[in-house]
Amino acid sequence: MNTEKKPEEEKEIKEDQRQEAEVLKKQLEEAKKSAEERLNQLKYLHADFDNYRKQFEKEKCQIIKLANENLIRELIAVLDDFDASINSRGAGKDKEGLMLIEKKFFKILEKHGLKRIESLGKKFNPHLHEVLCKECSDRGEDEILEEIQKGYTLDSKVIRASKVKVAKNEKSLDKEKEKLNKEEKLENKEK
């Protein structure tokens, strides 16, 4: 009888071991799956944090850039004062000294991205220039005759357009006058 129970006991033991192995296998699979999910969550969290850090840096740079732009806009008024002072003085050491100071001051601003808009003799560009007046001239149509106030760009962005006088031939001035007269007549009729 003892010999008959042994194979049954062995079968039971083997069955128990098989079931235990299956349970352990399932637990291992679940642990692997859980670890993989945690790893993916960690990767997403790391990517989110990296994106947040990049966005923060970008916003910080924009704030600094805007602060610099505002400061440079205010300093342009000082450049205007230098130009006015230089233009109002006759030749002499005072004028030379002012020119040297203005040049040095502008070089500092240039290091921070400020550039003058070159206008004189160029064709009018509405993105860079603001027309203050027009004058009959034998020069090319819309050629800039005089720069009344200097314009500036900061890192390729126009922060102040050049205020200019442009050339017009008589025919185009006459056409503009006719157009204005027609517009005035229409406005008067509507009233």
- In the predicted structure, residue 3 carries a pLDDT above the cut 80: no
Q: What is residue 93's predicted lDDT score, i.e. its pLDDT?
A: 83
| DSSP label at residue 118 | P
What pLDDT was estimated at residue 113? Answer: 92
Share of the chain above pLDDT 70, in %: 93
Single pTM value for the model: 0.62
Distance CA 153, CA 24 (A): 71
Asked if residue 21 has pLDDT above 80, the reply is yes
All structural domains of the chain with their residue ranges: 1-112, 115-191
pLDDT at res. 1: 46
Find how far residue 77's CA is from the centre of its chain. Answer: 23
Q: Does residue 189 carry a pLDDT above 70?
A: yes
Return the beta strands (E) in 73-169 as ranges: 114-116, 129-136, 144-149, 152-154, 157-160, 162-168
**For the chain, first and last CA: distance in Å?**
125
- Quote the CA–CA distance of 130 and 27 in Å, as a whole number: 76
Residue 104 CA neighbour count, 13 Å, CB half? 6
CATH topology of domain 1-112: Hemagglutinin Ectodomain; Chain B (3.90.20)
Average pLDDT over residues 96-122: 93
**What amino acid is encoded at 116 in this protein?**
R
Tens of pLDDT along 40-84?
999 999 999 999 999 999 999 999 999 999 999 999 999 999 888
Give residue 56's pLDDT.
96
Summarize the confidence of residues 116-144 as an average pLDDT. Answer: 91
For residue 148, the model assigns a pLDDT of: 93
- Dist CA 190 CA 67 (whole Å): 48
Percentage of residues in the chain having pLDDT higher than 90? 60
Query: Mean pLDDT, the chain, as a whole number?
Result: 88
Q: Which of 11-15, 28-32, 152-156, 162-166 has the lowest mean pLDDT?
A: 11-15
pLDDT-wise least confident of 2-16, 40-54, 82-96, 99-113: 2-16
> Average pLDDT, stretch 151-165?
95
174, pLDDT greater than 90 = no
115-191: CATH topology = Nucleotide Exchange Factor Grpe; Chain A, domain 2 (2.30.22)
